[in-house]
Structure 1
Amino acid sequence: MKTATIQYFTVLSIFAFMMIVLPAGVLAAEQGTQVDSTAINAAGNTDHETLAHYYEDQAKEMEAKIQEQVEAFNHKPSTSFLGRNGQRIKKHVVYKIHEFEKAAAESLEKAAYHNKMAEEQENR
């Protein structure tokens, strides 16, 4: 009975993980190709202003995700973080927040780079 329960929860957690992770990867891949095709015009020149706006929007989305995670974290009852699984959940949420912060910072760096390139393109 105990092994059946463990197997059931293992299969259920793997399924839940797949349902959460796979669509995110597909969406990220689709968005990247969409921006790449719109940012390069017919002459082969890159539109840095469009790319800068895209990366700024990505950073804003990451900030929104950070806020969602923080709010969800703050609204959970404190008893949900008790025990071994509770500590794992807490660490996972904190890890996700840090990853979103890194992604937001990278997007802002890319946006700054493309803004700089757009200014240089205008000066030419």
Structure 2
Amino acid sequence: MSDVLLSVKPEYVEKILEGKKKYEFRRSIFKRNDIDKIYIYSSSPIRKIIASFKIEKILKDSPEKIWTLCQKYGGISKKDFFDYFKNSEQAFAIEIGSVDSFKEHIDPFKVIENFKPPQSFYYLPFAFQQNL
């Protein structure tokens, strides 16, 4: 099993933690199929790992079909969704399972050697996973 660090904008992180966002949308997805857990990196200005969640399933379809299936718990406006998927033929929706919010947020710049915030996602080093 492996874990992934996913960059998420703070406004969407908040909705995930509140249980209002049950799908995280992506234009591309990890190639490995042994991903068990996703750690949430809240992007600027927070810049910390603040929670993790189990993956329920990953849906893959056209943006239109993904919107129809997931809009109720997508935590995003229709305009922002379709702006994000503009010129994309496929969309991915990661269904968010149980969420574990960290009391103390993790500064990845201090615990992951040569850390650079991921554009989309980042496979976490095994050593990082063992220290949590």
TM-score (ref. length: structure 2): 0.18
Bigger fraction of residues in strand: 2
TM-score (ref. length: structure 1): 0.19
Bigger fraction of residues in helix: 1
The structure that has the greater radius of gyration is: 1
